[in-house]
A and B are shown apart, each in its own frame.
Chain A
Amino acid sequence: MTDGESADGVRLTGIAKSFGGTRVLAGLDLAVRAGEFLTLLGPSGCGKSTLLRIIAGLERQDCGTVSIAGRPVDHLPPAERDVAMVFQSYALYPHMTVAGNLATPLEMRRLTLLERLPLIKHLSPRRARVMRGIMAEVRAVAEALRIEALLDRKPAQLSGGQRQRVALGRAMVRHPAVFLMDEPLSNLDAALRVEVRHELADLHARLGTTFIYVTHDQVEAMTMSSRIALMDQGRILQLGTPDDLYDRPASLAVARFIGSPSLTVLETVADGVGGIRLGAVRLPFGHRFAAGTRLSLGIRPEAFALPLGPEADGPALAARLVRAENLGAEWHLHVRLDLPGEPPAIVRLTAAEHEAARASGLLEDPLTLVLRARGVHLFGPDGARVEPDPAHTAVVE
């Protein structure tokens, strides 16, 4: 349905929605490119599902416009918007077989109302022919999803993963212009989730359709998306590629949400000449804040290093080890920095770094932590990211 001209998949302008007195979406703008895998990521209750339902037409926005493929769809009922949705609960029709579930969207489109009425439907000579065509397509989709053996079962007789596939199949048979997915993996166990994640990414690559995917799991968002829209309290905090969000967070809130374990935030003040002070250490950033301005410094766990050879000459902080967690491929050190108030921090080491550090006695208290350039972010008093000015920064080099 997408006309080749328009680069628009879905465009939202000024979408606002309140339930009773509570504002759930606050004038939200978002342009989803045709064919991209866009993830709406955000904490529980931030309005992701509401936004998805508004795009689908299942909920009416208080104001604002939804356009799909360059055409406003606000006046269209859900079925005519050319979108398909995979629900968190899968929402399969419980008393129909898998085949019936997959066939329903096509029956609704290709059979007349009379041909769908109980009993009367058998009077139509056309119906049998149309149904044969539908069942052929259903079988093709079932084969693509490897559920052809389940076609005669009812949803209650399926495992979670199988139900998820059927829900996906029911969305796919229609070849919609846009797939909407509301946390489709949240009811699967961890191993299956990883598997289905790959399959969804494959499916997106194969179909080339626009996907709008809702999740509160940042790993899902980071691994599958072309772009992520990070939402909080009914607005979009940042829209960008996974790299953008991780390496160039637009605000402290974004930096805090993305990354696990989450980054260490230290309260500091500007020194008036483009740098900040951390105890005895000065970090130059090339910012323009007046002396005494309160700033926040965010440090990713992997931006801390132990002074092993090449890392030895960055700005260094002293710290006391509280606890060390072994995750197999990496270690997380929970430390307290030797700064006023002893702020806690988390340090991520690869298993090899940890091994080397232990061998050279670098894990004895007090630890010396060197700051790497990458993964250190400065945020202004309003929480917005301060771009380091390369001309003035020793740290970012």
Chain B
Amino acid sequence: MRSRAFLASVLSHLVLLIGAVLMLAPFVWMLLTSIRPAEEVFGAVFDPIPSRFAGFENYAQALFASNVPRAMLNGAVVCLGILAVQLATALPAAYALARLRFPGRGVLFGLVLFGLTVPIQVPALPLYLALAKAGLLDTFFALMFPFFLTVFGLFLFRQFFRTYPEEILQAARLDGMGEFEIVWRLAVPAALPAIGAFSVFSIVAHWNDLYWPLIVVTSRERATPPLGILAFRDAETGGNYGALMAGAALITAPLVLAFLVARRGFVRGLTMTGLK
């Protein structure tokens, strides 16, 4: 019987291993290509290991002769701006939906659920027209505006706040806290794991977003990371895929690093909602 358990374990690990290889292969390829000399990328001989380490040239080109650093800075501004407004609106709204009794709450929450089902492509055109009319195209505001209100975050935080003990809220009201103060003094500190998990989702989504920036941004000065890579490919690399991949690696790095640092909290935040 032990041998059977062993076999099952080997099999399941094998399946997981294959999955992991499939997922990681593009990243590994990206990293290998980013240190490959330009002439070798489309060379006749296919060898996974670069013949010569060309990392310095490639990364130097991506860092100093391209728009990638600028795009990353823009990405940081846009992602943090979006996240700040998302948290400032979703946390109090989620608390109200979860813990306050008021007429129309059910309908409002129904609308939130409905909002979850609407993809950005649906309101894209009216939003674009409105921004164009307002003369706001090609601004940071245009990049951030459609994402300020997050139904996903609202939903996540609501589920989290529903598990918060009612008696603590009552104690706070007796002590003289208003509902907003309850949000920032009690609900937010308790929701930190959920806030962390949501932040990762939000930042990853908007850092990597190509669809919306492509619509509202035309200038190099407002390019976000994916736009930066696009421009790099078209104009600057002159077919040097090594440098292009170096740019891509640079753009992926902050997210990977952030995830590694926040990994434990992230998983806890995801599993925690609904428990307790």
Contact = CB atoms under 8 A, between A and B. Distances in A.
Interface of A: 53, 56, 58, 77-79, 83-85, 87-89, 91-95, 104-105, 108-109, 113, 116, 118, 170
Given A58-B173, A85-B174, A91 B165 contact: yes
Contacts of B176: 79, 105, 108-109
Contacts of A56: 170, 174
A104 B175 contact: yes
Interface stretch (B23-31, B183-191, B222-230): B183-191
Given A93-B186, A116-B181, A118-B184, A79 B170 contact: no
B77 interface: no
Given A88-B167, A89-B165, A91-B165, A79 B190 contact: no
A168 to B, nearest CB: 12
A93 B172 contact: yes
Contacts of B262: none
B177 to A, nearest CB: 6
A91 B173 contact: no
B168 A53 contact: no
B171 interface: yes
A108 B175 contact: yes
Contacts of A94: 168, 190
Interface in B180-213: 181, 184-186, 189-190
Of the candidates B167, B175, B184, the one having the most CB atoms from chain A within 10 angstroms of its own CB is: B175
Contacts of A91: 165, 167-168, 170-171
A106 B261 CA distance: 39
Contacts of B167: 87-89, 91
Contacts of A79: 173-177
A78 B190 contact: no
A170 B184 CA distance: 20
Contacts of A89: 165, 167
Nearest to B167: A91
A85 B170 contact: yes
Given A93-B171, A108-B177, 18 more contacts: A53-B170, A58-B170, A79-B174, A79-B176, A85-B170, A85-B171, A85-B174, A87-B171, A93-B168, A94-B190, A95-B189, A95-B190, A105-B174, A105-B175, A105-B176, A108-B176, A113-B181, A118-B184
Contacts of A58: 170, 173-174
Interface string B72-88: 00000000000000000
A56 B189 CA distance: 26
A84 to B, nearest CB: 7
A44 B140 CA distance: 59
Contacts of A93: 168, 171-172, 185-186
A170 B172 CA distance: 11
A20 to B, nearest CB: 13
B245 to A, nearest CB: 43
